[in-house]
Chains A and B, each alone.
Chain A
């Protein structure tokens, strides 16, 4: 077996890991499995595409690819803007839907609502952009060889971006007051409120970060694979599997879980066939739930 699956798995795993960090963070603080999370990924990617072409039309020089990459500065700027917008989209959905349910019902009602919202958000993308796949750039990329493995410059840059974002989030959670408040709410919301933490603000921040990470994960997916309305919902099962494998609430766990799922998927594609890739996450999920439901770094529920 060729070791190429290590390179492919690393890129896929970083994409899954970044999204899984968002899932694990929102899950541990908001306390429900959000089935609309995959839609934040797709919306983030489409927003980036839209903004990139707007910026490209306004400043045509920005479309020229940077160095060996396939994309120009317009996509970078659009990506940053879209991350903020996707964060706001997540907050907006909370205001419209989840906040009203938090007051009245058990968390599982929010899961149903998120399921309805995910279908509506995905279908809206299909209605606006049609289900035809599209791409950020038509540039062809020549893979470079790193120790016998092929990897494109885009993929290398994205790996760097994933490490940067995960590191920044880890610093935010451990070194800042906002991060400490988030961890406090995740441990015990009632106690957090009693010691004077603004729980509503923490929830807004959590949605914002979750949305921004989803967008980043969507841009990675859109650059490496393709842009489709179903791209996010198809990633949802791997995200849940990675977050549960890592242990709900653990950021390093979600990253590691994402990498493991990514490697397993890439190995499956090479050994069995690409059409069975989506079953890998399910098998991992079942195995974790049977053997170690708390995950690698989670506390026993």
Chain B
């Protein structure tokens, strides 16, 4: 019986992390999949959210900011606001310029956020990170299987809400304009739609979702450190999106599941097969494999596993495949 509850505890934590990455993927899908905005700084925006909520909700600690004892839900909202605002600022500075300037700037955001997380010890606790972040249903923590399951359902509920809201947005007139801007900016402008404004909105909402994912990660693990938010995270999220099928919200959730599964199975394999002194080098091979997989998908199956479904509106049947 003990083994069984151990498996449930492990499985629920794994699925919770998959779903949290799924929320980040949904945010990126709104930015890239729907609107064509390239964000190479995903980890930075997730990190901003994670630290915002962690610092606002945790108990006071010596040597760093924070300890305001906010409720978890308020922390998550603040995380969405701060990551959304950061995205809006980046977007306002770069969205009127050529498209890869946004990519370069978001890359800079991620580098700078990581730098602040590591070095601004009075603000973020430095490389030690923030620990003892309040966790939902903390009273159940003594029983890992139940604790894990309850939290899994909580995150799953949030994912369902986010998913339904995004699906509704995508099929709304607003979503149609996003795709119009992505496909042909001039035509959209000619119809009186301000491409810059719609892009900025999509970029900010996507960023807010990344902030939410960061906050959830902080609260469900209870501990965050700068290493959780380095470029490897950005890379994993992109791989999930591309392999699952960019533009398709179900597809990116599938991608989140598949890439996370690959990641933890190979992680267990590296731990089991290699002596400790070779493990860091063997772990690097996993990144090589995922990088090759990403590039191969872009070249050979650019639609991913579940490609974008062409849709005009909730009220009109989807047109045939082009």
B238 pairs with A100, CB closer than 8 A: no
B-contact bits for A236-277, CB 8 A (1 contact / 0 none): 110011001000000000000000000000000000000110
B36 pairs with A289, CB closer than 8 A: no
B103 pairs with A279, CB closer than 8 A: no
Is B267 in contact with chain A by the CB < 8 A criterion? Answer: no
A293 pairs with B101, CB closer than 8 A: yes
Residues of A168-193 whose CB lies within 8 A of B: none
A278 pairs with B288, CB closer than 8 A: no
Query: Closest CB-CB distance, B221 to chain A, in whole Å?
Result: 24
A105 pairs with B108, CB closer than 8 A: no
Is B235 in contact with chain A by the CB < 8 A criterion? Answer: yes
- A126 contacts which chain B residues (CB < 8 A)? 280-281, 284
B75-83, B92-100, B152-160, B167-175: which lies at the interface: B92-100
A123 pairs with B111, CB closer than 8 A: no
B235 pairs with A289, CB closer than 8 A: no
B235 pairs with A116, CB closer than 8 A: yes
A237 pairs with B284, CB closer than 8 A: no
Complex Cα distance, B295 from A204, in Å, reads 20
Complex Cα distance, B286 from A126, in Å, reads 11
- A128 contacts which chain B residues (CB < 8 A)? 281
A301 pairs with B97, CB closer than 8 A: yes
B115 pairs with A108, CB closer than 8 A: no
- In the complex, which range does the number of interface residues on chain B fall in? 35 or more
- In the complex, which range does the number of interface residues on chain A fall in? 35 or more
- B163 contacts which chain A residues (CB < 8 A)? none
A116 pairs with B239, CB closer than 8 A: yes
Residues of A32-61 whose CB lies within 8 A of B: 32-33, 35
Complex Cα distance, B107 from A111, in Å, reads 12
Complex Cα distance, B119 from A56, in Å, reads 41
B101 pairs with A120, CB closer than 8 A: no
Is A97 in contact with chain B by the CB < 8 A criterion? Answer: yes
- The residue of chain A having its C-beta at the shortest distance from the C-beta of B292 within the complex is A120
| A119 touches which of B101, B118, B290 (Cβ 8 Å) | B290
Interface residues of chain B: helix, strand, loop or mixed (majority) = helix
B-contact bits for A277-294, CB 8 A (1 contact / 0 none): 011011001100110010
Highest count of chain A CB atoms <10 Å: which of B36, B40, B288, B291: B291
Highest count of chain B CB atoms <10 Å: which of A33, A101, A279: A33
B104 pairs with A244, CB closer than 8 A: yes
A289 pairs with B97, CB closer than 8 A: yes
Complex Cα distance, B291 from A126, in Å, reads 14
Complex Cα distance, B107 from A236, in Å, reads 9
- The residue of chain A having its C-beta at the shortest distance from the C-beta of B107 within the complex is A237
Query: Closest CB-CB distance, A233 to chain B, in whole Å?
Result: 8
- B108 contacts which chain A residues (CB < 8 A)? 237, 240-241, 281-282, 285-286
Query: Closest CB-CB distance, A60 to chain B, in whole Å?
Result: 30
A-contact bits for B41-54, CB 8 A (1 contact / 0 none): 00000000000000
Query: Closest CB-CB distance, B48 to chain A, in whole Å?
Result: 15
* CB within 8 Å for A278 and B112 given contacts A130-B281, A286-B93: yes
B285 pairs with A123, CB closer than 8 A: yes
| B298 touches which of A33, A112, A276, A301 (Cβ 8 Å) | A112
Query: Closest CB-CB distance, A38 to chain B, in whole Å?
Result: 10
* CB within 8 Å for A131 and B280 given contacts A119-B231, A237-B111: yes
- B198 contacts which chain A residues (CB < 8 A)? none
Is A124 in contact with chain B by the CB < 8 A criterion? Answer: yes
B287 pairs with A123, CB closer than 8 A: yes
B40 pairs with A107, CB closer than 8 A: no
Complex Cα distance, B105 from A241, in Å, reads 9
Complex Cα distance, B107 from A244, in Å, reads 14
Query: Closest CB-CB distance, A201 to chain B, in whole Å?
Result: 23
Residues of B82-135 whose CB lies within 8 A of A: 93-94, 97-101, 103-105, 107-109, 111-112, 115-116, 118-119
B residues at A contact (CB < 8 Å): 36, 38, 40, 93-94, 97-101, 103-105, 107-109, 111-112, 115-116, 118-119, 231-232, 235, 238-239, 242, 280-282, 284-288, 290-292, 294-295, 298-299, 302
Beyond A108-B38, A120-B287, 14 extra complex contacts between A and B, CB < 8 Å: A33-B103, A33-B104, A35-B107, A96-B295, A97-B299, A115-B40, A118-B291, A119-B232, A123-B286, A126-B280, A131-B280, A275-B118, A289-B101, A301-B98
17 contacts between A and B (CB under 8 A): A33-B103, A33-B104, A101-B298, A111-B103, A112-B38, A115-B238, A117-B295, A118-B291, A119-B290, A120-B288, A120-B292, A126-B284, A241-B108, A279-B111, A282-B108, A293-B101, A301-B98
Q: Which 3 pairs across A and B sit closest by C-beta, in order of nearness?
A: A120-B291, A123-B287, A116-B294
